[in-house]
Amino acid sequence: MKLQKSTLLALCSVLEFAAQPGRQFSTAEIAGKYAASPHHLAKVLGKLRRAGLVKAARGSGGGYRFSGNAKRVTLLDVIALFETVGSRAPRASRRDLERAVDQVLAEIDETARATFGSITLETMLKLARRPKAAPGRGP
Amino acid sequence: MIHLNKIRGARRRDLAQVVEIDARITGLRKPAYWAGILRRYGGRDPGRFFLVFVQKEEVQGYVVGEVRDWEFGSPPCGWVFGIGVRPETRLRGTGTRLLEEICAAFRRRKVEKVRTLLARDNALVLAFFRSQGMMAAPFIALERDL
């Protein structure tokens, strides 16, 4: 499973904001942390703002802060702003093998959608705070 | 008012409320099913659990599960196969307390893992289990038409 660069940047940004909901972050701070261009990040944050997940404040002390509900917003809510996960339209193909391949791909897509849709930002933050498992051992 | 809340084994007199909670969540009334669950999981079998969260004599939620040995090739582990909370009392920690209680019971049976199985589209309960730290298990559920 691979997400586009913008999607990953959006997820990391929104999680940074949600981790400290009262705090205002500058674009430069997030861009520096995730090695993103300020221009690219500004576009990503614009989409998050239009979706109501972040609020922007102008001026010298300006920046962005979280304005969503971390208990309700899921990873899928954020990802869906940037790309489509699953629900691919079946190809109008008459070949049995292509149909079979499409069926397996759809199965993978549905699992991905369910996974992203079941993880809220709050759960994700808990996951990030969990101590790392020792090498060679499961979580 | 903590003393008014408690988690205990389900009793016959709780069944009507459990059926009602389940019906409100799933849209289906299943009294015979729940009577069977009480018979099989509300008894003295030390590896089976049917617990209810009671507040002022009213059942607020339930959880059902058991320890299963070597099923699906897995070492003994706890399985939770039913959890429900009154819709109006959600987000008050009832589900969390029920899950904690059944996990504690599993631990007393010396198992180190808890598992559950859910429909992919059951976003609410999936999100609940995720919020409790549960992750995808190394199993894949399969089915086919008969």
Distance CA B51, CA B63 (A): 5
Q: What does the pLDDT read at residue A134?
A: 56
**Best interface-test mutation with A: which of B116, B120, B122, B128 has the largest number of A CBs within 10 A?**
B120
pLDDT tens by residue, B14-56? 999 999 999 999 999 999 999 999 999 998 899 999 999 999 8
CA dist A131 and B21 (Å) reads 36
Average pLDDT score, chain A = 88
- Residue A80 belongs to some domain of the structure: yes
Look up residue B22 and give its two tokens.
């389940």
Give the pair of three-digit tokens for residue A26.
């500058």
CA nearest A109 in B: which residue? B120
A66-97 residue pLDDT tens? 999 999 999 999 999 999 987 666 667 678 89
For β-strands B77-85 and B114-116, DSSP reports them as: parallel
Among A74, A117, A139, beta carbon nearest to B135: A139
Q: Would the CB atoms of B127 and A114 count as touching at under 8 Å?
A: no
Residue A98 counted as domain residue? no
Percent above pLDDT 70 for chain B = 97
**DSSP tag of B58:** E
Instruction: State the Rg of chain A over Cα.
Output: 18
In chain B, domain spans: 2-131
Cβ pair B52, B8 in contact under 8 A: yes
Q: Looking at residue B91, what is its pLDDT?
A: 83
Alpha carbon separation from B4 to A20, A125, B55 (Å, rounded): 35, 33, 6
What's the whole-number mean pLDDT along residues B49-66?
A: 96
Residue A74 lies in a domain: yes
Distances (CA, A) of B10 to A94, B39, B53: 55, 10, 9
The answer to whether residue A109 scores a pLDDT higher than 50 is yes
- The CATH code of the domain that includes A70 is 1.10.10.10
Strand partners, B59: B54
CA distance B129 to chain A (A): 9
Examine residue A11 and state whether it is found in any structural domain, yes or no: yes
On whether residue A34 sits in a domain, the answer given is yes
Q: Do B127 and A122 touch (CB under 8 A)?
A: no
Which of A118, A121, A137 best probes binding to B when mutated, by most B CB atoms within 10 angstroms?
A118
CB B50 within 8 Å of CB B64: yes
pLDDT for residue A138 is more than 90 = no
Is A120 close to B136, i.e. CB distance below 8 A? no
Topology of domain B2-131, per CATH?
A: Aminopeptidase (3.40.630)
Q: Considering CB atoms only, which of B121, B133, B136 is closest to A115?
A: B136
Look up the pTM and report it.
0.85
> Under an 8 A CB cutoff, do B121 and A118 touch?
no
Whether A67 is covered by a domain: the verdict is: yes
Least confident of A17-21, A48-52, A85-89, A132-136: A132-136
Assigned domain for A94 exists: no
At residue B49, the 3 state secondary structure works out as strand
Q: Report pLDDT for B2.
A: 47
Nearest CA in chain B to A127: B133
- The residue segments making up the domain with residue A22 are 5-84+120-129
A134 domain residue, yes or no: no
pLDDT reported for residue A88: 63
Contact across the interface for A110 and B123, Cβ inside 8 Å: no
Domain count, chain A: 1
